[in-house]
Structure 1
């Protein structure tokens, strides 16, 4: 593969408004070969039709070992190279055993173990508790007249919910934000991940300690149920258990943090849409779907590799090539969405790809939707005069190629 032009999906400046650049790529070269940070080359898949097809195509695998030669794997994942040597390799290789990094039949087996906890019916049981947490967070700031919407609201809400579901002590919750930042903000850049080995080791050690504590004192929570499954021995290994808990903790709050903050920002940028939602709270479900499409929580889908030589969209993709499905571009494709550049909280036809498609469709989508609906509806009801406390250009977006989320979001009301 010849050297391709450099493109930094992780750039905070790109994330503020990536859509003109993505429109250019969709028009000129919709399956676009680029060099990404860390000198990794990959194909950007930018059109909706191609993105949906790629997300469903099981020739694009999640487990890099199925696509890369030993030499390619060692070059792209030096910290995973020698799995039997312990040390740092031991500390990080467990994350390759999670739902986001495996294919069938392992993916089918692992997903079945947690599916029941995240069905819409099961998630609906959390509605009252989510409302209680939302009210308490707003009670704490309402008299101040200002807050950081990320720190004071969008982050603690989903973090409290997922840690309560898992049965994790309240005093440990703040640790997860730091560890989540380490992993998420280094996404898409192998060198960044390698530079964060020490912090990943601390996270890994904490998860093992947490699981060992829970073994001794099980309770009626999701983590205890997963440990019980692991102890049976034929459905879940210890490595898979640690990887599963890590995924549930990080994915269980990251998507919703960004959904709440990006959705609120979209409303502040479009006062007419904010007014519509204020006047008709029944629009909240269609509004949440539109926030997910318009400036969703993820820039790209999680990583994939071609497991064989593939002709795709007129391009010859070779086995081992890195595949980047750009959700943010697909969700603004005019071929799929009428007036794609317009925020419309009443939009009816909205088959966005914010939660993916196919067998890797986001497990936590029902939870993120419910949290987003309750959070933004209550926020507008209680703080109808909410507005930005800084100029829009002063907002800083978090790095990492996977997510689109604000570092801070100062507001007044």
Structure 2
């Protein structure tokens, strides 16, 4: 793979070699091409920002718009018409619209509200662990890491339990869609199914409201007009999509890195108060969100001496920024004792679009690690000498394992 000022293709960023160790590539890019032009399959001029200070600035730069409707031609070319119906939400908007939409949802994700969920999340963790085999190898991802956040977000939204697996399947189809015609058709069908489902759910909550976020948002829509029907459905999709995929991969990454760094795991076992710092270190060291979602330049901008022309798309390599030696001491070391003062990572972004669900994601990760390692302190990888297999994606937006075979209690 080229890591010079020459453009890097999307295909090069999705090879098995790259997926195994993107951090080596990012280290070269930070030194030789900190603002790297990309050659994505969709053909729209795109730039990748890799250094921490540039990344932090870009995440809150008002000249880099998140309103993909403002770049509608590029947006449709990349994602297709069916995506538009689900993307009229806070993730793809700028102030004042972004401010209005975020305010409507924010009350459900305050630290106080999320902390009140701790007993329920811990209960879900215990139930899922009870259902796992203890003395034989199994894949922790489908058995534990994925069900935990999907159950939590479905309960918050008021999605019935029998629909959880379907929601997980449909959102996975959207997340992993590629550029082949077959993949695009599958993505379009999944998006249409999700739109229809959340439209129907809105109607159901209007007729029979419950104590859930979807009912509350529907009431806002009906009572004061602060939310359009289109925005309501799109917001529900965003919360479902963002509320489980990234957390599931982050849980898998956390378990993997603790099991492959025994001294760090021993520190967490001996001092349970290090679980929180361990979560933060995982988010920095190998977070589940590798790159930001797209922004586009509303005017010519310059970063690290590179001109990004008006109309170009911009991605921010969060994984690269979080390993920048100009910001972090010994950034390639996994150290759960790093501490918050030394760990101002960008795993949840920065600025107006800082992840709304960060408190919930932290709670789920902490509960997962405490539940697993507290109950099974001898848990091990099923094949400790084996190479981990990382998920292959058409866009290097997510960073997660394709599988995580473990044995909870190898000694029996």
Q: TM-score, normalised by structure 2?
A: 0.91
Matches within 5 A, 1:347-366: 347-348=338-339, 349-366=342-359
- Corresponding residue number in structure 2 for 1:87: none
Confirm whether residue 324 of structure 1 aligns to residue 315 of structure 2.
yes
Once the 2 structures are TM-superposed, how far is the Cα of residue 148 of structure 1 from its aligned partner?
A: 1.4
For residue 329 of structure 2, the aligned residue among 327, 338, 341 is 338
- Corresponding residue number in structure 1 for 2:22: 18
List runs of 5+ in structure 1 lacking aligned partners. 81-90
Q: Partner of 1:384: helix, strand, or coil?
A: coil
- Corresponding residue number in structure 2 for 1:387: 380
Once the 2 structures are TM-superposed, how far is the Cα of residue 196 of structure 1 from its aligned partner?
A: 2.0
For residue 292 of structure 1, the aligned residue among 277, 283, 286 is 283
CA distance in 2, matches of 1:319, 1:254: 32
Once the 2 structures are TM-superposed, how far is the Cα of residue 247 of structure 1 from its aligned partner?
A: 0.8
Once the 2 structures are TM-superposed, how far is the Cα of residue 166 of structure 1 from its aligned partner?
A: 1.2
CA distance in 2, matches of 1:120, 1:394: 34
- Corresponding residue number in structure 2 for 1:241: 232
Quick check: 1:96–1:102 contact (8 Å CA) kept in 2?
no
Once the 2 structures are TM-superposed, how far is the Cα of residue 17 of structure 1 from its aligned partner?
A: 1.5
Distance change in 2, residues 1:18/1:74 (3 Å): closer
Quick check: 1:67–1:306 contact (8 Å CA) kept in 2?
no
Q: More deviation in 315-324 or 206-215?
A: 206-215
- Corresponding residue number in structure 1 for 2:189: 198
Once the 2 structures are TM-superposed, how far is the Cα of residue 233 of structure 1 from its aligned partner?
A: 4.9
Once the 2 structures are TM-superposed, how far is the Cα of residue 3 of structure 1 from its aligned partner?
A: 8.7
Matches within 5 A, 1:224-235: 224-235=215-226
- Corresponding residue number in structure 2 for 1:174: 165
Once the 2 structures are TM-superposed, how far is the Cα of residue 194 of structure 1 from its aligned partner?
A: 6.1
Distance change in 2, residues 1:73/1:37 (3 Å): closer
Q: Partner of 1:311: helix, strand, or coil?
A: strand
CA distance in 2, matches of 1:73, 1:163: 29
Q: Partner of 1:411: helix, strand, or coil?
A: strand
Once the 2 structures are TM-superposed, how far is the Cα of residue 321 of structure 1 from its aligned partner?
A: 0.4
Distance change in 2, residues 1:15/1:73 (3 Å): closer
- Corresponding residue number in structure 2 for 1:84: none
- Corresponding residue number in structure 1 for 2:401: 406
CA distance in 1, matches of 2:105, 2:75: 30
Confirm whether residue 212 of structure 1 aligns to residue 207 of structure 2.
no
Once the 2 structures are TM-superposed, how far is the Cα of residue 39 of structure 1 from its aligned partner?
A: 3.5
CA distance in 2, matches of 1:183, 1:392: 30
Matches within 5 A, 1:6-405: 6-8=9-11, 9-67=13-71, 72=74, 75-76=77-78, 79-80=80-81, 91-186=82-177, 193=184, 196-348=187-339, 349-390=342-383, 391-393=385-387, 395-399=389-393, 400-405=395-400
Q: Partner of 1:96: helix, strand, or coil?
A: coil
Post-superposition, which runs of at least 4 consecutive aligned residues in structure 1 deviate over 3 A? 2-5, 7-13, 37-41, 72-77, 142-146, 189-195
Once the 2 structures are TM-superposed, how far is the Cα of residue 123 of structure 1 from its aligned partner?
A: 0.2
Once the 2 structures are TM-superposed, how far is the Cα of residue 174 of structure 1 from its aligned partner?
A: 0.2
Q: Partner of 1:97: helix, strand, or coil?
A: coil
**What RMSD over aligned residues (CA atoms) do the two structures have, in Å?**
2.1
Q: Partner of 1:294: helix, strand, or coil?
A: helix
Quick check: 2:64–2:298 contact (8 Å CA) kept in 1?
yes
Count of equivalent residues? 398
Q: More deviation in 36-45 or 301-310?
A: 36-45
List runs of 5+ in structure 2 lacking aligned partners. none
CA distance in 2, matches of 1:305, 1:359: 16
State the Cα deviation string for residues 287-309 of structure 1 (Å, max 9, x = none). 11000001101010111110111
CA distance in 2, matches of 1:210, 1:7: 37
- Corresponding residue number in structure 2 for 1:4: 7
CA distance in 2, matches of 1:222, 1:117: 7
Once the 2 structures are TM-superposed, how far is the Cα of residue 410 of structure 1 from its aligned partner?
A: 1.1
